[in-house]
Amino acid sequence: MVLVFAEAVNGHLKKAAFEAVTYGSQTAQLLGSQCVALTLGNVENAGQLGIYGASKVYNVAGSNLANFDSQVFTSVIAQAAEKLGATVVVISHTSTGKSLLGRLAARLNAGSVAGAKSLPDISGGGFKVTKGVYSGKAIATYEISSPIKLISLGGNEIPLQSTGNEVAIETLELTVPASRTKVIEVKRQEGIVPLPEAVTVVSAGRGMKGPENWGIVEDLAKVMGATTACSRPVADADWRPHHEHVGQTGVAIRPNLYVAIGISGAIQHLAGVNQSKVIVVINKDPEAPFFKAADYGVVGDLFDVVPRLTEAMRKFKAS
């Protein structure tokens, strides 16, 4: 049986949760098994997991699950895996999932793959899964040999597939330990798609000359329904918030479309964005290294080009 931990924020499932269940149900099909989803704490739309292939959806309730604590969540997910007899456990490769993966691997004595890119290859009785390594510069195939396999699924790696209907939520009675951490405050920008989940990202760098010029970037992002991001120097200079920084030391993203405006494309920046499916680079310097990693390029002054692109996008969206 494939057990999927479906992650929620503010009582609603994340897109990553639906992706994980889609992945889990396709894995279960390969194995001739079933996919079961697990939600923790109060989740209002958990039944929708059935649409993406969960044959059952379990919920564990408890006030200790209101805030994320890797120790508490690991204990509960591991108990569920043991009680339900899971042979594969799937979670999302998000800040929550990354914080759980190592703990769960140690707890379940499971071989793990962090940030999986593909469904398992089970030919010849093996269990092989690919993932990005060397900060996206290469792809490795991992072989898992333990009885329980543990996978965190990378964001935007597989398209959502609806195969079934909403299912009823069943309650699972497990021991929820007390948390040894105390959350004081959560500051989260509401109403935006978080960068790791974003399908379209509009990002800008030092070429913007100053934070007061970001209006044209935000206009373009708004028309495209994109999440905004920035390069490291921009975040370091406090032109933009720290959580917008994409690159080696910031957030690693893999959107379908990455638009880079006034970013030269240093190797450390590329390490965080090189798994984007399509990259558009707008830069006035034709020698900018980013053009070598781009699919489409525009050599020109961003202060002219970006408003024109916004206008063309607006016309396209209206048509």
Partner 1 sequence: MKILVCVSKTPDTTSKISFTADGTKFNDAGITYIMNPYDEWYALVRACELVEKNGGTVTLINVGGPQNDQTIRKGLAIGATDAVRIDADPNSSLFIAKQIAEYAKEQHYDIIFCGKESIDYNGSEVGGMVAEFLDLPFISFASKLEITGSTATLNRDIEGGVEILEVETPFVVSAAKDMAEQRIPNMMGIMKAKSKPFVVVPPVDFPDLAVPVKYVLPKEKTGVRLVSPDNMEELVRLLHEEAKVI
Which residues 109-148 are close enough to bind partner 1 by CB under 8 A?
109-115, 128, 131-146
Q: Which residues pair with 2 in a beta bridge?
A: 35, 88
Residue 280 engages partner 1 in binding (rule: CB under 8 A): yes
Residue 34 engages partner 1 in binding (rule: CB under 8 A): no
Q: Which residues pair with 88 in a beta bridge?
A: 2, 149
Among 164, 183, 209, 237, binds partner 1 (CB under 8 A): 183
316: three-class secondary structure by DSSP: helix
Specify the residue, 50 or 205, whose C-beta has the smaller distance to partner 1: 205
Residues 36-95 that bind partner 1 (CB under 8 A): 68-71, 74, 94-95
Q: Give min distance, CB of 194 to partner 1, in A.
A: 3
- Beta-carbon contacts of 236 under 8 Å, excluding residues fewer than 6 positions away, are none
CA distances 147 to 1, 28, 150, Å, are: 12, 15, 10
Long-range contacts of 207-211 (CB under 8 A, 24+ apart): 207/261, 207/262, 207/263, 207/283, 207/284, 207/302, 208/234, 208/239, 208/261, 208/262, 208/302, 210/239, 211/238, 211/239, 211/240
Amino acid at 43: V
Span of 22-30, 42-50, 108-116, 210-218 interacting with partner 1 by CB under 8 A? 108-116
Specify the residue, 51 or 203, whose C-beta has the smaller distance to partner 1: 203
Amino acid at 232: R
Specify the residue, 42 or 99, whose C-beta has the smaller distance to partner 1: 99
Residue 301 engages partner 1 in binding (rule: CB under 8 A): yes
Specify the residue, 169 or 192, whose C-beta has the smaller distance to partner 1: 192
8: three-class secondary structure by DSSP: strand
Specify the residue, 47 or 247, whose C-beta has the smaller distance to partner 1: 247
CA distances 188 to 181, 191, 224, 243, Å, are: 19, 9, 22, 10
Specify the residue, 57 or 110, whose C-beta has the smaller distance to partner 1: 110
62: three-class secondary structure by DSSP: coil
113 contacts 97 by C-beta, under 8 angstroms: no
Other Cβ atoms within 10 Å of 179 Cβ, number: 18
Specify the residue, 168 or 318, whose C-beta has the smaller distance to partner 1: 318
**Binding pattern for the stretch 232-261 against partner 1, x by CB under 8 A and - elsewhere:** ----------xx-x--xxx-x---xx----
Query: Nearest 5°: phi and psi at 44?
Result: -75, -35
Q: Give min distance, CB of 56 to partner 1, in A.
A: 27
Among 10, 11, 66, 106, binds partner 1 (CB under 8 A): 106
Among 29, 34, 45, 98, binds partner 1 (CB under 8 A): 98
Among 165, 173, 185, 238, binds partner 1 (CB under 8 A): 185
Q: Give min distance, CB of 7 to partner 1, in A.
A: 10
Residue 186 engages partner 1 in binding (rule: CB under 8 A): yes
